[in-house]
Amino acid sequence: MGMLRRLDLRADTLPRAAVLRGIVPRAAIDVDAALEIVRPIVDAVRERGVEAALEYTERFDKVRPASVRVPAAALAEALGTLDPAVRAALETSISRARAVHAEQRRADVVTKVVPGGTVTERFVPVRRVGLYAPGGLAVYPSSVVMNVVPAQAAGVESLVVASPPQADNGGLPHPTILAAAALLGVDEVWAVGGAQCVALLAHGGTDTSGEDLEPVDMVTGPGNIYLTAAKRLLRGLIGIDAEAGTTEIAVLADDTADPVHVAADLISQAEHDPNAASVLVTTSEAVADAVDAALAPMVGSTKHTERIRTALSGPQSGTILVANLDDGIAVVDAYAAEHLEIQTADAAAVAARVRNAGAIFVGAWSPVSLGDYCAGSNHVLPTGGCARHSGGLSTQTFLRGIHVVEYTEQALRDVADQVVTLAVAEDLPAHGEAVSARFAR
Ligand code: NAD
């Protein structure tokens, strides 16, 4: 018996997608329970601002920062003392991400509907955003890059990066987080994490220095269940991105896959969190056995053995045996993984048939770790099945399409009867009268 529990769907006719969704491994994440935990935190920060945020920070992060806003000198110092190799790697990550995200910005679209009648979709950036970089079990300077690059590409005018303070960095966020922000040209960083962070970003407050902490219009970025629950609670007051919670990887493999590559990639995402999900979907029992055999020594020899072992042996992880690749695609579509690797013959053709995934990594040389840091793609991706309806963070996330409608008198006259007819059909005659009043005189 390997570390991954096994589900054999080869003998069955696959059930329809809705049923399959209930069968695939999934963490029993109790968002309702998390909502109840974070509600008092959000309420307290709304009522008592920074003082409440600092109390929760002391409780959860075991440190009380001198101020929420990180002093400019600390940002400069972090960049000045950054390991040159890490700086060069971050620069590679930033330049590749910038190349991809610059091309995601859609131009305004002007449609001439009829002579004299146009509808323009004008894309306008959100004015001020809060970008979250996690800092609990691990710290994620890469998430600073993945948030900031699309926001800047969209033309966001004012942005704040937030990350939990670290007890071993004097109550400042991790130095590499600060350095990454500085490298990207961000000058506003807040030392606050979790639900209290989202609440403070949404409501604003007065810092310990007396400085105004201006609220934001939108909060994006990945985080644990408490952050996710707070984003859900505050949605509406602020915009949010798709829920990017605890990491998931699914690998669709046939008998051409290299079991050591597959095992390494399953481990790489399990490293994030004991609740992370690693799922192998394969047509080959031999590959499943070989992956199991490879996992044990590899898990034992890596740094975060216990966290990885817990993630791989949890109910959210496992191997699913399928009869053929068609069934494999049906299973990965039902799962809708945050990250999906295709390790099969003719991987590009298989990938083209997948409908639901946050990001797809094609073939033997495109592991998820590449996408985590340096592919140019974004790593803030939907989890928990949200990839069925949402995409990852992109430049468009920070842009709103505003419809600008402009008709001439004649163009309105030409369609007036149809507007009146539909208004009457909806029993909203005043809608029609707003048009006919213009032509009554
Ligand atoms: P985090 O910054 O999300 O969480 C730390 C914060 O959690 C703390 O500051 C604290 O405020 C809060 N917290 C901790 N225990 C709490 C409790 N009992 N009650 C209320 N609040 C509490 O960092 P993390 O914990 O390391 O989680 C990061 C997550 O982000 C991981 O699960 C990782 O897989 C995920 N991630 C996802 C993506 C993605 O795109 N989906 C990318 C990177 C990371």
CATH number reported for the structural domain that contains residue 113 in this entry: 3.40.50.1980
Question: Exposed, middle or buried by CB within 10 Å (0-12, 13-18, 19+), for 371?
Answer: buried
Average pLDDT in the 67-80 region? 98
Average pLDDT in the 97-116 region? 97
> Rounded distance, CA 381 to CA 362, Å?
17
Please check whether residues 234 and 272 belong to one and the same domain. Answer: no
ipTM of the complex: 0.96
- What would the pLDDT profile of 413-437 be if each residue is shown by its tens digit? 999 999 999 999 999 999 999 999 9
Q: Is residue 46 part of a domain?
A: yes
Please check whether residues 146 and 268 belong to one and the same domain. Answer: no
Provide the mean pLDDT of the chain: 96
Q: Is residue 54 part of a domain?
A: yes
Q: Name the domain boundary from 376, 399, 419.
A: 376
* Structural domain containing residue 55: 31-240
Judged against a pLDDT cut of 90, whether residue 53 lies above it is answered with: yes
Confidence class for position 1, pLDDT limits 50, 70, 90: low
Q: Is residue 381 part of a domain?
A: no
Please check whether residues 134 and 212 belong to one and the same domain. Answer: yes
How many structural domains does the chain have? Answer: 3
In this structure, the residue with its CA closest to atom 30 of ligand 1 is: 223
Q: Is residue 266 part of a domain?
A: yes
Closest CA to 155 of 189, 221, 107: 107
Backbone angles phi, psi at 89, to 5 degrees: -65, -40
Q: Which of the 8 DSSP states describes residue 231?
A: H
Closest CA to 143 of 328, 371, 385: 371
Q: Is 338 a catalytic residue?
A: yes
Closest CA to 103 of 361, 433, 376: 376
> Rounded distance, CA 240 to CA 397, Å?
9
Confidence class for position 226, pLDDT limits 50, 70, 90: very high
The verdict on the CB of residue 173 being under 6 Å from ligand 1 is: no
Please check whether residues 79 and 178 belong to one and the same domain. Answer: yes
- What would the pLDDT profile of 306-359 be if each residue is shown by its tens digit? 999 999 999 999 999 999 999 999 999 999 999 999 999 999 999 999 999 999
Q: Is 173 left (phi over 0), alpha (psi -120 to 50) or beta?
A: beta
Q: Name the domain boundary from 222, 240, 258.
A: 240
Backbone angles phi, psi at 358, to 5 degrees: -70, -45
Q: Which residue is listed with tokens 């972090």?
A: 78
Please check whether residues 173 and 305 belong to one and the same domain. Answer: no
Q: Is residue 348 part of a domain?
A: yes
Please check whether residues 369 and 274 belong to one and the same domain. Answer: yes
Please check whether residues 213 and 305 belong to one and the same domain. Answer: no
Judged against a pLDDT cut of 90, whether residue 240 lies above it is answered with: yes
CA angle 315, 377, 165 (to 5 degrees): 70
The verdict on whether residue 272 carries a ligand-binding annotation is yes
Closest CA to 144 of 160, 126, 125: 160
> Rounded distance, CA 432 to CA 355, Å?
42
In this structure, the residue with its CA closest to atom 33 of ligand 1 is: 246
Confidence class for position 26, pLDDT limits 50, 70, 90: confident
Confidence class for position 20, pLDDT limits 50, 70, 90: confident
Closest CA to 201 of 339, 321, 69, 65: 69
Average pLDDT in the 249-271 region? 98
H and E: helices and strands count for the chain? 16, 16
Tokens of 153: 């590409």
The verdict on the CB of residue 246 being under 6 Å from ligand 1 is: yes
The verdict on whether residue 339 carries a ligand-binding annotation is yes
> Rounded distance, CA 40 to CA 229, Å?
12
Give me the count of residues in the chain.
Answer: 441
- Specify the pTM: 0.94
Q: Choose, from 174, 339, 341, 379, the residue flagged as catalytic.
A: 339
Please check whether residues 20 and 73 belong to one and the same domain. Answer: no
Q: Is residue 75 part of a domain?
A: yes
Instruction: Indicate the helix (H) or strand (E) that contains 372.
Output: helix 368-373
Of ligand 1's listed atoms, the one at least distance from the Cα of 379 is: 40
CA of 138 to the centre of ligand 1 (A): 9
Please check whether residues 50 and 126 belong to one and the same domain. Answer: yes
Please check whether residues 136 and 253 belong to one and the same domain. Answer: no
Q: Within the chain, what is the greatest distance between any pair of CA atoms?
A: 86
- What would the pLDDT profile of 121-158 be if each residue is shown by its tens digit? 999 999 999 999 999 888 899 999 999 999 999 999 99
In this structure, the residue with its CA closest to atom 7 of ligand 1 is: 194
Q: Name the domain boundary from 360, 376, 392.
A: 376
The verdict on the CB of residue 151 being under 6 Å from ligand 1 is: no
Average pLDDT in the 118-122 region? 98
Q: Is residue 403 part of a domain?
A: no
Please check whether residues 169 and 53 belong to one and the same domain. Answer: yes
In this structure, the residue with its CA closest to atom 41 of ligand 1 is: 244
Q: pLDDT at position 322, please?
A: 96
Please check whether residues 105 and 195 belong to one and the same domain. Answer: yes
Confidence class for position 22, pLDDT limits 50, 70, 90: confident
> Rounded distance, CA 241 to CA 228, Å?
10
The verdict on whether residue 426 carries a ligand-binding annotation is yes
Q: Is residue 400 part of a domain?
A: no
In whole angstroms, what separates CA 105 from the centre of its chain? 18
Q: Choose, from 188, 338, 341, 379, the residue flagged as catalytic.
A: 338
The verdict on the CB of residue 75 being under 6 Å from ligand 1 is: no
